[in-house]
Structure formats: C-alpha cells, structure tokens
Structure 1
C-alpha cells in the first residue's frame, strides 16, 4: 500500500481520551482545574440529552464526565472503569468529600430520559408510547477508581449521535450557577438558528432542580436567577445570549413566555463548536467521506486554523483527485492529508475543470436538442398517422352507412364489385376466403372485412359525386 494512498498509515495518533489524560497529568499536580486547560476537551453530544430537567449543577457535571468517557472508547463496554481523580478532574470536583460525591452520583442515577407521544392536553391511554430510561446505571467507588455503566440503549446515542452539538467540558465546568448551566444546555442545539422557540417559564423553572419560592414571581425570578444566569453564560461560554419575554395572551399581564436570542462568539471555542453547527460540512465529512471519530477529533482540535473555507478547500481538492482516478484507497485519509498540508486546487486545475465542465455541458445540451428534435419529429409523424387513421375510420363508417341504407340489390352489386376489385381479392386471400363463394353475412360479420368494404364503398360514392 502506497503512503499516498493511505497517509494515515504509520503515523502515531493521539486520541481525545489520551489527550485528556495527558492534560490531566500535567494539570492535576499543579492544582489547575479542567476549565483552565490549554486545549479543548469535549465531545459531540446528542441533542436529546439537553432535555434532562430537574437536575443540579454537580449532577450535570457527573453525567458530562461519564458520557465523555463513553464517547471516547473505541468500543462499547458493559462497564467503564477509570481513575477517580481523573473522573473528578473531568467534572471539576475539587472536594475530597466522598460522601457528597456519592450524593451527586445518586442524583445522576435518579435522572431519566422520557419519551412519549401523549399530547399535553389529555391523559395517557394504553395505545400511547411512553419510555423512561435512567441516564446513569450502576456507579461504584473503590480503591481510588470509579466504575459505572450506562443503559445499553443509550450507548449508541452517546457514541454516534445523529443530531448533535459540541459540548466543551472546559466551558460546561466553568459554570457556577445551576440555571446558567441548564439554560446553556437547552439552547445549544438552537445556536445555528439564532434563537429558540418560545418557552414556558413554568417549564424553565424546572430545568435546574429546586428553586426558592420567590422564583414563581417573575420580577424576583428575573433579578435573582435569570439575569445572573445570563451574565454568567455571556462571561464564561462560547455564545452571546439575550432574551425576550411575552404574555400568553394580549389580555393577560402575567409574563409567562421567554425566548433566547443566540450568537456564537468569535473565539477558538466557538470556532470548534461551529463544526457541529455547519451541518452541511458535517454531513459531507460524515456521509461522503465517512470520517472516523479520531479524524473528527483532529479537525475539532484544529478548528482555529481549519476553518469552514479550509475544510471546503480540502474537500474540493480530494474530490478533484477522486474524479481523476488518482486516489486508490482511503479517501478519508487523503482528505486529512489535504487538511494538514493545505493542499488546494491550482488556478490552472480549476480552469481545466471549468473548461471540461463547459464542454460536457455543451455536449449534453447538443444531445438534448438532438433528442428533443427527434422526439418532435416522431410526435409529428405519430400525429399525422393518427389523423390519417381517424380520417380513414370516418370514411369507412360513412361507406358502411351507405351500404346499410341501400336495398338488397344494391348491396349485392357493391359486394360483387368489392370482391372482384384488387383490394378485395387481396383481403379475401389473406383471410383464406374465395371470392366466388364468400357471402354478405361473412363479410359483414368480420370487423376487418367490413372495414375495407366501407372504405371501398366510400371511394366509389365520392368518385360518382365528383364525376357528376
């Protein structure tokens, strides 16, 4: 196998898990939290995990750390086992209070994902769908390690999500307010759209778990929870967030709806997250080139340099080489090499492609014109043939009407004239009948013979009229 065919071959690869472990080893002894890491740590999180509600900040961090570990494993496992200090670092848990950590684990175990098709305006019935799955299974701490498992139905959604967004552990662990983190989770899938749908305040108050009694009153909720959460999101995250409120109806004065307006910041974190936002690029890389998780991770790590334009340039170059038959194996590996070495099409190559495309278009257009001309001629001929058939059928009908209206003697003379004519003899020979013995009943009883008889009579009648 040539190196050019598989440029990934023989090159040491650093997985996201290995990178995270290396950062942990460098930073743990210095007492530096994950939020101050020099490199990005995160994973593509499935959009439906943002729907988890009634969960506090520490439990969210616990789930983040666990799902990051599940997402980075090369193969799904029945149980995951890592060093406890590493797990605590991933979730930014600085305390040595293991009793509290157990309480956090229990809260994470209590969290569930529920799916139902029951409308909100009625009670469920036996035909409705309802599924409830725990987000965290068994959790155990022993001898400086943590072991846990995740429901097997959830593992594919964690490891290979379809609709997803980038979750940075550097950012998610920087939050200190439960509502800020809950809002951040909920709005991430909507960042590419620039805003969320209208959300009921009653629903939003359930996102972070228990809140004070004053949270039910909007002016206190806004002052003590919402505004501080918005400020923290804008300070520590990769998005800029503002909001609008409204009442349920024009006659009500009670504010009960909220909508968030969103924009990515111009930062390295935002550049990384934008890979998930650029759904067309993600689809090309995933479906056309089938990039692996490792290759996606390398792109994510280099998003400051590997912009959308840089990736599109590499995709264009790789497609060009594929179309010329110059890539024999691993188009994904070739694309990664093009990204690393900044390969792109030269102006001469681009011009050549344009000229070839133009020639192909002209050739195709000429073929289309030729085909359409042939089809038009064929339609004209068919139309004329149809007109001739219709005219001849009409002539035969009129001839038969004249025959049927005639007396017996005239009909006998018409029959004799037809069977002795050249046309009549040919038809009778085809039908294996003798002119001397064929009867009027046989001729009239045959749809084919009577048709030609009608044609013959119409011709005689017209000739007689023209002579007169």
Structure 2
C-alpha cells in the first residue's frame, strides 16, 4: 500500500471518528478540533450562481471522492455523515432535495479564452455537470460524479488545500466565492488586477444586481471580506483601480491575501499536505511558534524544502548526531537549507553494505560452528548408543556363560589395561574383587560388560574364520 493510500485512508477514518464524536454532541464540522479537507484542483474555483448550501454539498461529495482508494461508479455513505460534512443542520428534507437539485444544475466551465476578448471557434471550452445522479434512501445517500471530473478531483495538478472546517462556517455566498478565488494566490500574497464584472460574476446574482460600485461594495463586497477575515484562516484586503487617471469609474480590483499567524492556518499553508503537517507535529513536536515561522516563510520554505529538512534531520538522528531538540535541529536545517551531500549518502551506503557483509560473514561462521557442534553431538550420541547396546549384549553373554567362563571373564578384565586403570582410579583391590562387586558397581559393570562383549565378539570371529 502506498503512502498516499495510507494518508487518504487515515483522513477518511479521522473524519468518520470526528463525526461520530461530534454528531452525538450536536456540534457542527466548523467546530472540529482537527482539520478536515482535501487538495482541490484550481479548476473548481470557477463555479458561479451556486448557493452556500449547494457549495457545501459539492465540497462534501468531492471530499468523499478524494478519500476513496479507487475510482467508483457511485459513492454511498450515511446521510447524517454527509450532512455533517456539508454542515446541513436542518431536518427539512424538502429543502435538502432542492439543494441537491441546485447542485445538479450547476456546471463547471473551462476555457482558455482570455477575459479581454470574445471566444472563437478555435478556443477550448468545456462545460460539465458538477454532480450527477443523487439518491437518498433508508438513511443513506448515493451520488455519482461525472467521470471526466474524477481525475481532477483525485489527482489534482495545480491545486490548493480546501478546509471543510473553514468553508462550512461561511454563511454568505459572496464570501465563499471570493475565498475560493483568492486561495490559489496565497503564496504570492497578491492577485492580478481582476475586471470588476468578473468579480461580480463570481458572487452571482448578489453581485450583478448592484450596478453601481458603491452599492456592490456596501451590500456584497465589504460584508464578504469581513466574514472571510472573521471566520477563515486568511486576512483579506482589496484595492481598486479606475478605467483611466481622469475617470472615477472603478473597473478593476485586486486582493491582498495573507495567512493568519496561527498554528491552525499552517495546516492549510502546507498546501494540503496533511501527512507533512502530522509529521512535523507528531514526529518532531514542532511548536506553535515554530509553525508560525513556517507559515511566514512559505514562499521560500516549499513542501520540497520542508521534506528535505525532514530527511536531513532523520539522517542525522540515525547517525546519533542530534542529541537535543529534534524540532530545533529540523528548524535550523530548514532555515539554512541543509541537504545530505550525495557523497556522504554514498559513503553511508558503502559502510552499511560493508557492515552487512561482515554481519553475514559472522552469521555464516556462527552457523558453521553450530553445524560442527551438532555433528560432534550427533557422533557422541551415536557412540553412547552403540556402547549401551554393547553393554546390553555383554550382559547377555555373561549371564549365559558357565561358571568357569564367568571366572575367566573376571580374571581377564582385572588383568586388562583398561580394567587395571579403572581399578586403580577407583582405589579397589583386584585380588579381593568378587563377581557380585564387579557387577554391582556402576562404573565397573559398564566397562566389564563391554569387555565381555568385545571378548565374545572376538571369539565368534575366530571360530568363524577356522
């Protein structure tokens, strides 16, 4: 399983766990203590004339699609979970159906036609429904997303992090629309000059109905900016420009946008790299102050540079060179842009290969020693078994012999070099040793009966040869 699949599964499991905890308490997703969101393709900011509830519905649907491991013909989840994701608190199912219908009517239109000229037959233009068939039954909701959009949802290229925790808090459609459009410019801090008519189109009917700018500003623009600054993770301001130096008619706007200096906002400033955020927080214990520093420097401290600092710190940790505050060491690696030199990486690899070869040699040597020891033990066991058999056979030979033969066996063993040596070691007098004493002594009987076996064997072999 890839890291990406693991991260998505973790996000899905976390959102379900949060839902179970918060739904029972009657708490909306906007009050969540943890981030819930996904990496949204920039193409999905160009959605117009869509109410706030319908926008939340699309967010919830695309969040579910983004977390699934595989593309599916449809997506089926518990209705209460879906409503919680879109912060739909009402029990009015008639209204919910109307919201679904509104979302089904919405289109995403993609074109390469510049804003300052009319379209031509050579220009690219695509119009796609945002969500397809939707059905509700027995407390569950099933929905389809047009196949043409699935790739853009699941594997976005140019994208930004969309937090359902934040967007579900908006109550003004204009605030949500402007927030969507400025997010891709967060790292630049400033949008291009945007035609006023285009900004009006972003916010839909509330924008186009106010023909005079001062009324558009009073009734739509200013309330939207205030709500964005109050409820979201960014600070937003705007500037205006007139048609010409001699004109008083405002025809263009541009927005200045900055992340708020809070640890929560860093989750979004990490371009939705939730796994990267969790690594900084859980593995290295980055503090709120350090997160704020990361947020302030995101224009330079990109995802790649942060990952590079993480790898460098892990590399030095494995070498035992980080003895205090891994978080502080990582921040210094990030600030000074430390990188692991290729030569050092190769050196470590060579040393590891050498150590592995030495370990393999030591393992082979130990296995060879064990093999020899096992072989010796097997031979010893074999010898002991053979001697035991010889002793048993010797006992049978001695028991079956007549008195004269038994005396000869005793006399012969006592006079043999092995018998003399053993008797001397045991400090026994051979001249007074009886047959009963010989057989009753454990050490003597073992050697004596083996002697009987060998003598009997020798006699049998001699008889057979003659």
TM-score calculated relative to the size of structure 2:
0.61
Tell me which of 9, 12, 31 is aligned to 1:17: 12
Structure 1 residue aligned with 2:405? none
Instruction: State yes or no: 1:159 paired with 2:154.
Output: yes
Residue number in structure 2 paired with 1:36: 31
User: How many angstroms does 1:183 deviate by?
Assistant: 0.6
SS of corresponding position for 1:182 = helix
The answer on whether the counterparts of 1:16 and 1:297 sit within 8 Å (CA) in structure 2 is: no
Structure 2 residues without counterparts, runs of 5 or longer: 295-300, 320-324, 348-466
Alpha-carbon shift at residue 317 of structure 1 (Å) = 3.9
Distance in 2 separating the partners of 1:124 and 1:60: 28
Gaps of 5+ in 1: 1-5, 283-293, 325-339, 361-468
Equivalent in 310, 314, 317 of residue 310 of structure 2: 314
Equivalent in 18, 22, 31 of residue 27 of structure 1: 22
Following the alignment from structure 1 to structure 2, what is the Cα–Cα distance between the partners of residues 214 and 118?
25
- State the Cα distance separating 1:313 from its structure 2 match: 2.9
Alignment partner for residue 62 of structure 1, among 57, 62, 71?
A: 57
How is 1:215-234 mapped onto 2 (pairs within 5 angstroms)? 215-234=210-229
Q: Is the 8 A contact 1:241 1:260 kept in 2?
A: yes
Task: Please state whether the residue corresponding to 2:53 is helix, strand or coil.
Answer: helix
1:13 & 1:65 partners in 2: Cα distance?
Answer: 15
1:194 to 2:183 alignment: no
Deviation string 1:98-118 (CA, Å, 9 cap, x unpaired) is: 111111111111222222234
Counterpart-to-counterpart distance in 2, 1:152 and 1:263: 35
> Aligned partners of 1:136 and 1:320: how far apart in 2?
49
Q: Secondary structure at the match of 1:87?
A: helix
Correspondences of 1:254-403 after superposition (within 5 Å):
254-276=249-271, 295=275, 298-299=278-279, 305=287, 307=291, 308=294, 311-317=307-313
Cross-structure match for 2:91:
96
**Given the superposition, is the C-alpha separation of residues 24 and 241 from structure 1 closer, same or farther in structure 2, using an over 3 Å criterion?**
same
Superposition deviation, residue 298 in structure 1: 4.1
Q: Kindly tell me: are residues 193 and 159 of structure 1, through their superposed partners in 2, closer, same or farther at Cα, counting changes over 3 Å?
A: same
Residue of structure 2 aligned with 1:208, choices 203, 213, 218: 203
- Relative to structure 2, which stretch is displaced further, 131-140 or 60-69? 131-140
- Cα distance in 2, alignment partners of residues 315 and 45 from structure 1: 27
Q: Would the alpha carbon gap of residues 207 and 314 (structure 1) be closer, same or farther in structure 2, given more than 3 Å must change?
A: same
- Alignment partners' CA distance in 2, 1:194 and 1:343: 28
Q: 1:61 to 1:12 in 2, by over 3 A?
A: closer
Q: 1:318 to 1:304 in 2, by over 3 A?
A: closer
Classify the secondary structure of the residue corresponding to 2:87.
Answer: coil
- Show the 5 A alignment for 1:148-187: 148-187=143-182
CA distance change for structure 1 residues 24 and 220 in 2, over 3 Å: closer, same or farther?
same
Distance in 1, matches of 2:278 and 2:167, equals 21
SS at match of 1:154: helix
Q: CA deviation at 1:252?
A: 2.1
Shift in CA distance, 304/69, structure 1 to aligned 2, threshold 3 Å: farther
Question: Does the CA contact (< 8 Å) of 1:271 and 1:304 recur in 2?
Answer: no
Query: Which of 241, 244, 258 is 1:246 aligned to?
Result: 241
Give the deviation of 1:227 after TM superposition: 1.2
Distance 2:198 2:96 in 1: 28
> Match of 2:48?
53
Tell whether 2:76 aligns with 1:81.
Answer: yes
The worse-fitting range, judged by mean Cα deviation, of 94-103 and 127-136 is 127-136
Work out whether residues 79 and 140 of structure 2, in 8 Å CA contact, stay in contact via their aligned partners in 1: yes
* Superimposed CA distance per residue, residues 120-148 of structure 1 (whole angstroms, 9 cap, x where no aligned partner): 56554443322111111111111111111
Q: Which has the higher contact order (CA 8 A, sep 6+)?
A: 1
Deviates more, 1:159-168 or 1:247-256: 247-256
SS in 1 for 2:254: strand
**RMSD of the TM alignment (CA)?**
3.7
User: Relative to 1, partners in 2 of residues 1:356 and 1:114: Cα closer, same or farther, differing over 3 Å?
Assistant: closer
Does the 8 Å contact 2:309/2:339 carry over to 1?
no
Q: TM-score, normalised on structure 1?
A: 0.60
* SS of corresponding position for 1:89: helix
- Give the conservation status (yes or no) of the 8 Å contact 1:47–1:164: yes
Within a 5 Å distance, the mapping from 1:433-448 to structure 2 comes to none
Residues 304 and 114 of structure 1: CA distance in aligned 2, closer, same or farther (over 3 Å): farther
- The answer on whether the counterparts of 1:43 and 1:68 sit within 8 Å (CA) in structure 2 is yes
Q: How many residues align?
A: 317
Per-residue Cα deviation, 1:310-347 (whole angstroms, up to 9, x for no partner): 7543222456799x9xxxxxxxxxxxxxxx986969x9
Q: Do the aligned residues in 2 keep the contact of 1:275 with 1:300 (CA within 8 Å)?
A: no
Alignment check: 8 A CA contact 2:76 2:143 kept: yes
Distance 1:252 1:352 in 2: 54
Contact 2:65–2:75 at 8 Å: present in 1 too?
A: yes
Please state whether the residue corresponding to 2:239 is helix, strand or coil: strand
- 1:236 Cα deviation after fit: 0.7
